[in-house]
Amino acid sequence: MNADAETRAVSDADDEIRDEDGRLIQAFVDQVAAAIGANDAERVREIAGDLHESDVGDLIETLEPDDRPKLVELLGKDFDFTALTEIDETVRVQLLEELAPETVAEGVRELDSDDAVYILEDLDEEDRAKILEQIPAPERVALTRSLDYPEDSAGRRMQTEFVAAPEFWTVGHTIDYVADAENLPDTFYEIFVVDPTFKLVGSVPLDRLLRAKRSKLLSEILDDDPRTISATEDQEDAARTFERYNLVSAAVVDDADRLVGVLTVDDIVDVIEEEADEDLRALGGVTGDEEISDPVFYTARSRIPWLLINLVTAILSASVIGLFEGTIEQMVALAVLMPIVASMGGNAGTQSMTVAVRALATRDIGGHNARRLVRRETLVGLANGVVLAILIALAAGFWFQNPRSSA
């Protein structure tokens, strides 16, 4: 099947299970649920065995909790554990806890190391240890090393499968090695050149490798100053490096500058999405890693601190209004206008907060321009306040037919 035909086949399959809004069709979900309820493994594999991992992830989230582990068991070897990277953390952890450690270990072994770490990192230590015990020592050591890096670091995101070669290899030797070697990553964009101690010497992009003569040495065509990322570097900083220098992949090095992994753009896209989601939650005062699948108690607990702060500020606002109680009693129209004033003030504050949070998230604000931003937002608030005050004064005078109400 050529690329166009394969693309059409995937598109046709997607149309069969999703509606025009991209959601899974309920009839399809009901078919899968019915097959699970009948314990019909053949039917489940027929319906869901060839789905893309993203579709399987959506299916898992849509099914009832009791049907999720049964789906994995009935699919057996046809279940791609990559689908677990596409679902909410809460659903993933609950599902993994329902599965046998041997089943999870077997599925994780088929994944790239970055996906395996992503799945295992949210489990508690006891459950994680049970799964790692079922994995052969060399693979277990590699996963454990990645899991030992700080949370949200490049070391947690990196893929430990990469292609490395010594600088005295020729282009022809390198191409032959890539063609014949087993256990290479499914996708890679460059060859990393290392010295005998595995310190990074440089890198050779695949396009440059394929255009060079077979007799040339890697040392003659390598980029001797590649962009590298420390394994302990925050994943958001790593994403900004990709954005700044338009990278597709980058070597990850440890504190001794030894090559330990590679970050690719697909990992960075996930990081950008996570960080953007975190910034949006912060804008609304939602802390932590809240997801729509989280239980009520966890969600309520994560939201209460910001609501308490808002309660304090609301009490302060009410106390200010209380200072003008006598004036309000004399002119009831002011009480009618109070919600308008509060609403406009809140909207103006939200605008300024949105700009500030975005500037913080994109690192556009720092010591050199923080005062300028505060000054600008203050002046913008004053200018808009004067314009809106004049408009509401005119509206109030016309509304209540009382010149005093517009004063």
Name the packing angle between helices 125-132 and 101-109 (round to 10°).
70
Residue 213: pLDDT over 80: yes
Confidence of residue 385 (pLDDT cuts 50, 70, 90): confident
Residue 66 CA, chain-centre distance (Å), reads 27
**pLDDT tens digits along 387-398:** 888 887 787 777
In terms of Cβ atoms closer than 10 Å to its own Cβ (0-12, 13-18, 19+), residue 210 is exposed
* SS3 category, 94: helix
**pLDDT tens digits along 356-381:** 766 766 666 766 677 887 888 888 88
Domain 14-151 sits in CATH 1.25.60.10: yes
Q: What percent of the chain has pLDDT over 70?
A: 86
Overall average pLDDT of the 215-234 stretch: 95
Q: What are phi and psi of 234, to 5 degrees?
A: -60, 140
- Write down the residue that tokens 């505060």 correspond to: 374
Task: Enumerate residues 6+ apart whose C-beta is below 8 A from 19.
Answer: 25
Q: Is 249 left (phi over 0), alpha (psi -120 to 50) or beta?
A: beta
Stronger pLDDT, 167 or 330, i.e. the higher one? 167
Lowest average pLDDT, out of 53-57, 70-74, 168-172, 291-295, goes to 291-295
Domain 164-283: which topology?
CBS-domain (3.10.580)
Say which DSSP state 365 is in: -
| Pairing label, strands 249-253, 200-205 | unpaired
Nearest to 315 by CA among 307, 326, 304, 327: 307
Overall average pLDDT of the 263-290 stretch: 77
Pair 390, 406: CB distance under 8 Å? no
Residue 244 CA, chain-centre distance (Å), reads 19
Overall average pLDDT of the 249-267 stretch: 94
Q: What pLDDT does residue 241 have?
A: 94
Other Cβ atoms less than 10 A from the Cβ of 255: the count is 8
With the C-alpha atoms ordered 40, 41, 46, 48, is the resulting torsion angle positive or negative?
Answer: positive
Overall average pLDDT of the 338-344 stretch: 75
Q: What pLDDT does residue 10 have?
A: 39
Q: Where in the chain is the domain with CATH 3.10.580.10?
A: 164-283
Confidence of residue 14 (pLDDT cuts 50, 70, 90): very low
Q: Where in the chain is the domain with CATH 1.25.60.10?
A: 14-151
Residue 328: pLDDT over 70: no
Q: What pLDDT does residue 2 have?
A: 45
Q: What are phi and psi of 202, to 5 degrees?
A: 175, -170
Confidence (pTM): 0.71
| Pairing label, strands 259-264, 190-194 | unpaired
Say which DSSP state 231 is in: T
Rg of the chain taking only CA atoms, in angstroms: 29
DSSP states of 18-77 as a string? Answer: B-TTSPBPHHHHHHHHHHHHTT-HHHHHHHHTT--HHHHHHHHHHS-TTHHHHHHHHHGG
Confidence of residue 262 (pLDDT cuts 50, 70, 90): very high
Alpha helix ranges (H) inside 246-369:
265-283, 296-322, 325-330, 333-361
* SS3 category, 398: helix
- Write down the residue that tokens 């005078």 correspond to: 397
